[in-house]
Amino acid sequence: MKETLWTRDFVALVLANGFLFAGFHFLLPTITLYAASLGATGGEIGLIGGIFGYSAICIRLFTDAGVHHLGKKKCLYLGLALSILATVSYYMFSSIHAIVAARILHGFGFGMSTTFAAAIVADIIPASRRGEGIGYFGLGSTVMMALAPAVGLFLLSEIGPSALFFSSAAVSFLAVLTAGFCHAGRKIRRVEVIEKTSLRDCICETGTGLPSVLTILFGAAYGSVNTYIAMMAAEAHIGNAGLFFIVGTLFVFISRPFGGRLLDSKGAFAVIVPGSVSYLIGLLLIMAAHSLTVLLAASVFYGLGAGLLLPALLTWILNMVRPERRSSASATFYNMLDIGTSTGILVLGVVAGMVGYRNMYWSVTALMICFSVLFMFCHYHYGNDCIASPKAVKRPVADIHKD
């Protein structure tokens, strides 16, 4: 008999995660437009766009301290509160320096919120259904990735910045309300041993090296598609490129539930190999696209690949650590994804400037080939269950109690 997945706590976190990402994606395509309307220079716009990810990485270095002093649930609330405060600050202060400061604050809030939401949900999902549960957990963010940017652009262009920022703050507040229905999230106080962690451990949790490297590689490939597909389409004279994301998100939505069940029942090979092959096919179709039809066919394979790979990598990292280290493991996943995405966008943007956006995707294809080869190396040495089965580690004595 299957253990129960759809508990009140799980549903509350799925909804809270969706609202959290709605607030983020409202601003993703609009904050730089708003800064430009205030007279920001190209360098300032680039800083506003890029500082967010790096501030999220910085705050995750303090994940362990947050868990020990506040507990996961209070850290989640603190992250959401910082996100709301930053969003309101965008409108309250119109100077570019203030917006940069608010963007840093928002990165802190978003980094904390995503890390602790994933850590709490990993605690409440039954171990036998973790892959499936993580897949469902990400559906809210997947839907918002498709819908929220368009809504944000509409609010900014048709109503004004006040409607944009207060709508973003409102959905972030809804994340707080829905998270309140989740009673999970425990504070861990060490009784016998307080583990000392190095800076390297804060960035990348010990024992998660292989999936972390894979996450960086895939993050670079994933970020390049999301950032440069519209420019590639313009270079190829393909109109209505925004449909790429709508179709792609639909297939991400389709792939996540069955991908998670497949991961739990069959292990790593059955999910990551088809996912990487599907993503490679999508990249090849992008480079071959001279019409909207071919571009949308590419989005199908892009969506299937991303929908299989992202939750599988998160589940893998969570399964490699002891239960009390899941907050750090969650931080590791998002750190590696942000490092890959931010670095990939920067480097591949330079490549695109030299060879064009279509030819730039040959570099992205090379990244995915490296991803596939490295995974096969991992599979050869660790077997088919390296994701589905948690690492056998001894849990230290800890006093665990509710916040």
In this prediction, residue 378 carries a pLDDT of 74
User: pTM of the entire structure?
Assistant: 0.72
What percent of the chain stands above pLDDT 90? Answer: 22
In this prediction, residue 173 carries a pLDDT of 94
Q: Which of 129, 163, 189 is the endpoint of a domain?
A: 189
Does a structural domain hold residue 241?
A: yes
Considering the domain architecture, whether residues 177 and 243 belong to the same structural domain is answered as: no
Residue 256 one-letter amino acid: R
The CA radius of gyration of the chain, in Å to the nearest whole number, is 20
Q: Which of 162, 189, 216 is the endpoint of a domain?
A: 189
- The answer to whether 302 and 248 are in contact (CB under 8 A) is yes
Does a structural domain hold residue 402?
A: no
pLDDT in tens, 178-195: 988 887 655 444 433 345
In this prediction, residue 344 carries a pLDDT of 81
**184: number of Cβ within 10 Å:** 18
In this prediction, residue 192 carries a pLDDT of 36
Q: Which residues contact 257 (CB under 8 A, 6 or more apart)?
A: 132, 135, 136, 139
Residue of 91 and 242 predicted with greater confidence: 91
Considering the domain architecture, whether residues 228 and 173 belong to the same structural domain is answered as: no
Considering the domain architecture, whether residues 8 and 126 belong to the same structural domain is answered as: yes
Does a structural domain hold residue 400?
A: no
- The answer to whether 38 and 96 are in contact (CB under 8 A) is yes
What whole-number distance in Å separates Cα of residue 133 and Cα of residue 130?
A: 5
What percent of the chain stands above pLDDT 70? Answer: 85
Residue of 1 and 350 predicted with greater confidence: 350
Q: Which of 135, 161, 189 is the endpoint of a domain?
A: 189
Considering the domain architecture, whether residues 10 and 107 belong to the same structural domain is answered as: yes
Cα 247 from chain centroid?
19
Considering the domain architecture, whether residues 223 and 353 belong to the same structural domain is answered as: yes
pLDDT in tens, 158-176: 898 999 999 999 999 999 9
- Going by pLDDT thresholds of 50, 70 and 90, the confidence category of residue 2 is low
If one counts the domains in the chain, the total is 2
105 backbone dihedrals φ, ψ, rounded to 5° = -60, -40
Task: Return the minimum-mean-pLDDT range out of 25-34, 112-121, 381-390, 394-403.
Answer: 394-403
Q: Is residue 347 pLDDT above 90, yes or no? A: no
Considering the domain architecture, whether residues 148 and 272 belong to the same structural domain is answered as: no
In this prediction, residue 403 carries a pLDDT of 41
Beta-bridged to residue 402, according to DSSP, are: 186
Does a structural domain hold residue 197?
A: no
Considering the domain architecture, whether residues 210 and 184 belong to the same structural domain is answered as: no
Considering the domain architecture, whether residues 280 and 383 belong to the same structural domain is answered as: yes
Considering the domain architecture, whether residues 98 and 232 belong to the same structural domain is answered as: no
Considering the domain architecture, whether residues 251 and 181 belong to the same structural domain is answered as: no
Beta-bridged to residue 398, according to DSSP, are: 190
Does a structural domain hold residue 132?
A: yes
Give alpha helix (H) positions in 138-242: 139-154, 161-179, 199-203, 209-235
What whole-number distance in Å separates Cα of residue 278 and Cα of residue 221?
A: 13
Q: Is residue 376 pLDDT above 70, yes or no? A: yes
- Distances 382 to 111, 148, 391 between C-alpha atoms, Å: 31, 40, 11
- Going by pLDDT thresholds of 50, 70 and 90, the confidence category of residue 199 is low
Q: Which residues contact 29 (CB under 8 A, 6 or more apart)?
A: 149, 152, 153
Does a structural domain hold residue 396?
A: no
Does a structural domain hold residue 397?
A: no
Q: Is residue 397 pLDDT above 50, yes or no? A: no
Q: Is residue 320 pLDDT above 80, yes or no? A: no
Considering the domain architecture, whether residues 221 and 143 belong to the same structural domain is answered as: no
Range(s) of the domain holding residue 364: 203-391
What whole-number distance in Å separates Cα of residue 303 and Cα of residue 278?
A: 9
Residue of 381 and 148 predicted with greater confidence: 148
In this prediction, residue 394 carries a pLDDT of 41
Q: What is the CATH number of the domain that holds 31?
A: 1.20.1250.20
Considering the domain architecture, whether residues 121 and 163 belong to the same structural domain is answered as: yes
Does a structural domain hold residue 40?
A: yes
Q: Which residues contact 181 (CB under 8 A, 6 or more apart)?
A: 8, 9, 11, 12
